Copies of this chain bind each other. A is one copy, B any other.
């Protein structure tokens, strides 16, 4: 009955959404959940597996992806603390979920999770909002993939990642290959364009995983095509 990994954030419904961790409705959830840890690179589940659990990222980061028969990969999403994984999957997984770094998750049996959601209006709305949010960001990405140039994609990506962390600093726990597969580019192009942005002084990058948005306005205009 479900299909994607979800993210509950502030845009829809209201502020309640972001505060998941401390909301009363979560109590009902926590009762049925168990904590688990996943090492970097380990899979939470694979395409084709039975979808009998729902997860929430507590710490770390998850990457969801799909594989084509010839090995081409597409990264559907990166999930960070607070995001749900595996909600909205049908009975069978349509994607693979792997930890891109040491990751802590809460794991809920799907039946129970759905029962709780069914009972609890507030949680139901939360899940619904997460679903809407997922759809909205999927649409943003379709525009990105369908019509944006490589520079525009990278700029958009950096801004998206920056939105999750308030200051200008961006942590990129994923590899260049992950970024490439997320943006529909190749590793080389990602690397080249990051270097170019660095050379132009738009971003700073001492280590490959740590980026600082130096000229955010410039990035924003680049993201939109300028």
Contact = CB atoms under 8 A, between A and B. Distances in A.
Interface stretch (A23-31, A102-110, A128-136, A200-208): A128-136
B12 A139 contact: no
A95 B141 CA distance: 14
Interface stretch (A35-43, A70-78, A191-199): A70-78
Nearest to A143: B74
A181 interface: yes
Contact of A68 (B70, B74, B147, B181): B147
Contacts of A12: 1-3, 90
Contacts of A133: 3
Interface string A86-99: 00101000110000
A145 interface: yes
Interface in A204-226: 224-225
Given A135-B134, A224-B68, A73 B147 contact: yes
B135 A72 contact: no
A66 interface: yes
Interface of A: 1-4, 11-13, 66, 68-70, 72-74, 76, 88, 90, 94-95, 128-129, 131-136, 138-139, 141-143, 145-147, 181-184, 224-225
